[in-house]
Amino acid sequence: MELIVSISIFAMMTALVVAKYGNFNQSVLLTNLAYDMALTIRTAQTYGVSVRRQSGSFQSPYGVNFNLSVPTQSQFIFFADVDPSNGLYDGNDVILNTYTLKRGAKIQDVCIGTGPLDCHQESILNITYKRPDPDAIICSNSCLTPLPQYARITIVGTDGSTRTVAVRKNGQISVEE
């Protein structure tokens, strides 16, 4: 009798662990994806401020473009801006890498504003960095004056859980749950 009780307790504990493993695995993958996205933005900042040269010039801004009008909403572009006057990815810029979100994750929304409480949704977000200033240039379809101080990218997993990557004008990049 003791053996049957022990086996049934072990079976219930195993079933619970197996049922929760999928959620835990998805949560870890989504967090890693958010950190990879933040690292790509940090790489753009490093390239833009340091001496990475593109097309014979050290003055090329580097940036990341998020476009939610793309049907899949699962890609973002790391680019070198050929026309430094606009600060936007316009299709004529040099694409350094196109990142595709894996395992069913999607970019849920992007927003810009003066801070976390004053943030309005956009369909396009460009975050660029231009030498020698380490501050982010945050733009949507065009660079408004004054430039927004804050941008947030929200990604969602297949289980509905979300992670956000926040970028502030002063160069701070953070991942939030």
Q: What is the pLDDT of residues 91-121, one digit of tens each?
A: 888 899 999 988 888 999 999 998 888 888 9
Q: Give the tokens for residue 70.
A: 């793309």
Per-residue confidence (pLDDT) for residue 52, from 0 to 100 = 63
Q: Classify domain 2-176 at the CATH superfamily level.
A: minor pseudopilin epsh domain (3.55.40.10)
3-class SS letters over the chain: CHHHHHHHHHHHHHHHHHHHHHHHHHHHHHHHHHHHHHHHHHHHHHHHHCCCCECCECCCCEEEEEECCCCCCCEEEEEECCCCCCCCCCCCCEEEEEEECCCCCEEEEEEEEEECCEEEEECEEEEEECCCCCCCEEECCCCCCCCCCEEEEEEECCCCCEEEEEEECCCCEEEEC
Per-residue confidence (pLDDT) for residue 128, from 0 to 100 = 92
Question: What pTM does this model have?
Answer: 0.83
Of 19-23, 52-56, 148-152, the one with minimum mean pLDDT is 52-56
Q: What is the pLDDT of residues 139-168, one digit of tens each?
A: 887 777 778 899 999 999 888 899 999 999
Per-residue confidence (pLDDT) for residue 3, from 0 to 100 = 92
Number of Cβ atoms within 10 Å of the Cβ of 152: 21
